[in-house]
Every structure is written in C-alpha cells, then in structure tokens.
Amino acid sequence: MESFGTRLHAAMGERGPLCVGIDPHAALLRRWGLPDDVAGLARFCATVVEAIADRVAVVKPQSAFFERFGSEGIAILESTIRQLRSAGALVLLDVKRGDIGSTVAAYASAYLDPSSSLCVDAVTASPYLGVRSLAPMFTTAAEHGAGVFVLALTSNPEGAEVQHARSADGRTVAQLVIDEISQLNAGVEPLGNFGLVVGATIGDTGHDLSRVNGPLLAPGLGAQGGSAEDLRTVFGDRLATVLPAYSREVLAAGPEPAALRAAADRVLAECRAVLGRLAE
C-alpha cells in the first residue's frame, strides 16, 4: 500500500483540501428529525456517506459519538468506515488515544492494522504521556501505510496551560511535540505520514511549523468560530500542507444530501480561496 502521506497528498489534489467530521451528537440528531438512538445514528451516517463520501478528501468520524451506543454504535462505526473507504474517501478516526507500552500498541492494532474491522487510514493521538510513548503507534502506522495526527496546539482554551508551558530548554511543550513529529517526517516525499493537530482559532502563537513536512489538521472552523481566512494567520507559509476540518458547519445543513453537498462545496471554495494555487 502507498504511504498515508502519498495518499493524502493525492486526495487533496483530486478532491480538494477539506476534511469533514461526522459528529452525531444528540442535538444534531434531533435537528435532523432523528431519534437519539442506534436507528437515528445509522440513518445519520448513511445520509452523510451518500452525500459526501465520493467527493471529500478526508472524513473524520468522532469515535465517542458512536461509543456512547455501545456495541451497536461500534458496529455502525465499522460499517461507516467501510462505506467511506469504498467510496474513495480517506478516513481519519478521531479517537485521541494515548498510552504507554502494550496498551498503545493495542490501540494501534485496533485502528491501524488491516486485520481489524476498525482499521482506518489515520487516527488522532494525544502525546501528553510523552511523544515517544506513541512509538508503537508510529511503527504500526508505518508498517501498514497509515497515518497519525498528534495533538499540538488545540483550539480549546484549557489547552494553552499545558501546551504553552516551557521546558528546561525554553521550548514550549507544543514546540517539543512539533519538533519530534518533524523528525519522523524528515526527508519524506511528497508528504510525511505523521501530522499535527493545530487549531484554526489559536492565532499567531509564534510556534515554528516550518520543518513539519507532514499534514496540519486545522479543526475549529465554521461553527466553532474559525474562518478560512484565519488559516493565513495560524499557518503562514505552511498553507500547502494544511487540511481544514469542518463538522457542524457542514452537518447542520442536513438532512438532505444535496444540502450537505452544497455546504461542503461552499466551505471547500472558501478554503481554496485562502490556500490558493498551492491547494489546487
């Protein structure tokens, strides 16, 4: 299998730089006129797949909104993953896992090994037990052509107290994460397999992203307050590797598939206008 970075680079070139989240929380299900139960979840996911799976580069299911329904919810997640990938979308599962030793290795097997029914193209991971604690996840991803997006600078206001804390050498915790992921991607073409999560609403924090050489997932756009124009401030000359992520801004347009497609097309156009020819 081609590397995740190669597949993502191709998908962004063919379908455009856009990641759409699948976040079926209770309020959104009700807004769509669906019950907050397994049947409502299944209908919601089927509609999203029908609307965008064949046109969006990356789709990002949020695992928690499936897990809350227990084994039946996980079964729907498995089915949704299969359908998305069959339609050509890359699947980034938002699980934010992070642990040590055999436990993080087990998470890696669950999400990144093709023998698992939950296997996806990439996952999100938390580095706050130490970036190197995620080594088994990085190894499994490399073995199977998968990717990992590591939290670095998140949009939530609570994040700064940890991410902006200074280490003994003066770097922030976030910069330490950025630098370690940059080393994993060094020399890889056209794009490294290991990305960072950098919120679109954080502004200019002074962190150096110049050597990442991997994808930069930018959540926080749309309903969460960020705009495509904010990407210029946050990412500067790294716009070519930015993957903008929208969830509620697109999903709120449902439940009609045509309306969901129109919303996805609209935000993609906004992102293209900012990212320019680098995202063509």
Q: How many CB atoms lie within 10 A of CB 166?
A: 11
Sequence-ordered list of residues with C-beta below 8 angstroms from that of 269, at least 6 positions apart, any chain = none
Residue 150 sits at φ, ψ, to 5 deg, of -100, 135
**By CB neighbour count within 10 A (0-12 exposed, 13-18 middle, 19+ buried), where does 249 fall?**
buried
The DSSP result for 2-28, as a single string, is --HHHHHHHHHHHH-S-EEEE---HHH
Catalytic residues: 96
Tokens of 220: 């926080």
Please state, in angstroms and rounded to a whole number, the distance separating the CA atoms of residues 111 and 133: 17
